[in-house]
Structure 1
Amino acid sequence: MTVDIVPAARSVAHQPTLEPLDGLQWSQAIELPRAIASATKPSEIRRAWIHRAPESEVLALFRAVHGSGELIPAPWWLRALAAGELDSRETGFRIEDRIAQLLSRRTGWEYVPWAADGESGYWEFMPSERGRSGHKIPTTILNTSRHNGWIDVLPAHSGTTPEPLAVAGLAGLRSRLGEFEAVR
């Protein structure tokens, strides 16, 4: 007599959760070393694979993962590059570095390197937080891919986050800094 051994069917509740390989690769590609917490400018956090690998490989992996339609963590410059609105990763780095040159020379601006996974960090105007105006969240400058000026400003606020103000590039930021710094 022969007995066939058939494994028992697993219940759905006990199925392992599997991460798609591309998704796992992406999470490793954007991972930054813990040492970036002390960074004072964007160039000091460019240590992940997406910052160092050949641009074509970074773009290919981003498109493979993003192709599922899911919003994935990624820096603004990579979203703009993938959309054909930015010509290179280096151009994105140059934009970040020029903002850093402008703001690091001004009193009150601090770079915050620990943005969301894959993001490039942002700048906060510390005098706008808990000053005369009593705001709990300071004026914040961050890079964006939502428009070709590449810079958004979130005004100092308490409570609900206001809509970001689109700024027309570095020249626009330079011309409006007095307005942004007036809130204290």
Structure 2
Amino acid sequence: MDALQWSQALELPRDAISATTPAGIRRAWIHRAPEAEVLALFRTMSERNEPIPAPWWLRALAEGSLESRAAGFRIEDRMAHLLSRRPGWEFVPWVADGDSGYWEFMPSERGRSGHHIPTTILNTSRHTGWIDVLPAHTGSTPEPIAVAGPAGLRSRLGEFEAVR
């Protein structure tokens, strides 16, 4: 029964697939319900030691490394503000259940370098910079580059956009 409840907690309306920023897909129960209830249900589901779908900010909140859901939303929104103003960056909202979407630098796909997978920026709970960059590539996925938050992303965007 808990699994069904968690699935419903993550469920997004169909029109969320057309979102152009992470804020556009924040319409599931996990985004709107009281934070303490969301965290309690996540912890209950996590006790089973099975991987469960959840956004990066919820994992970080449960680990105690992020102070609030709102702090996670601010990080996503700062990234959206930065990337949506730059040519070539596109937000991809259709990801796994619970995920917050990611950004792709389209000029890095099939450009001069011939890569099949574009440079991708996504949020993560793997470190407290909360941002990982996967360089454009073909073949196996490279190790993510940890970025020190939105300010670190802003300072390194030229480096990431140089791969075309």
TM range (shorter): over 0.9
Higher relative contact order (CA 8 A, sep 6+): 2
Aligned AA (2:126) = R
1:86 aligns with 2:70: no
1:68 aligns with 2:48: yes
Q: Distance in 2 between matches of 1:128 and 1:152?
A: 17
**Which stretches of structure 1, 4 residues or longer, exceed 6 Å deviation after superposition?**
none
TM-score w.r.t. the length of structure 2 is 0.99
Question: What residue is the counterpart of 1:143 in the other structure?
Answer: 123
Describe the superposition over 1:122-167 as per-residue Cα deviations: whole angstroms up to 9, x where unpaired. 0000000011111000000000000000000000001101111000
Question: What residue is the counterpart of 1:170 in the other structure?
Answer: 150
Q: Distance in 2 between matches of 1:34 and 1:128?
A: 29
Q: CA deviation at 1:104?
A: 0.4
Describe the superposition over 1:79-121 as per-residue Cα deviations: whole angstroms up to 9, x where unpaired. 0000000010000000000000000010000000011110000
Aligned AA (1:23) = A
Question: What residue is the counterpart of 2:89 in the other structure?
Answer: 109
User: Which has the greater radius of gyration?
Assistant: 1
For residues 14-53 of structure 1, what are the structure 2 equivalents within 5 Å? 21-53=1-33
Q: Which moved more, 1:146-155 or 1:166-175?
A: 166-175
Percentage of identical aligned residues: 79
Q: Distance in 2 between matches of 1:172 and 1:46?
A: 25
1:130 aligns with 2:118: no
Unaligned runs of 5+ in 2: none
Q: CA deviation at 1:178?
A: 0.3
Aligned AA (1:47) = R
Q: CA deviation at 1:71?
A: 0.9
Unaligned runs of 5+ in 1: 1-20
Q: Distance in 2 between matches of 1:31 and 1:135?
A: 33
TM-score w.r.t. the length of structure 1 is 0.88
Q: Distance in 2 between matches of 1:28 and 1:158?
A: 36
Aligned AA (1:136) = H
Aligned AA (1:26) = W
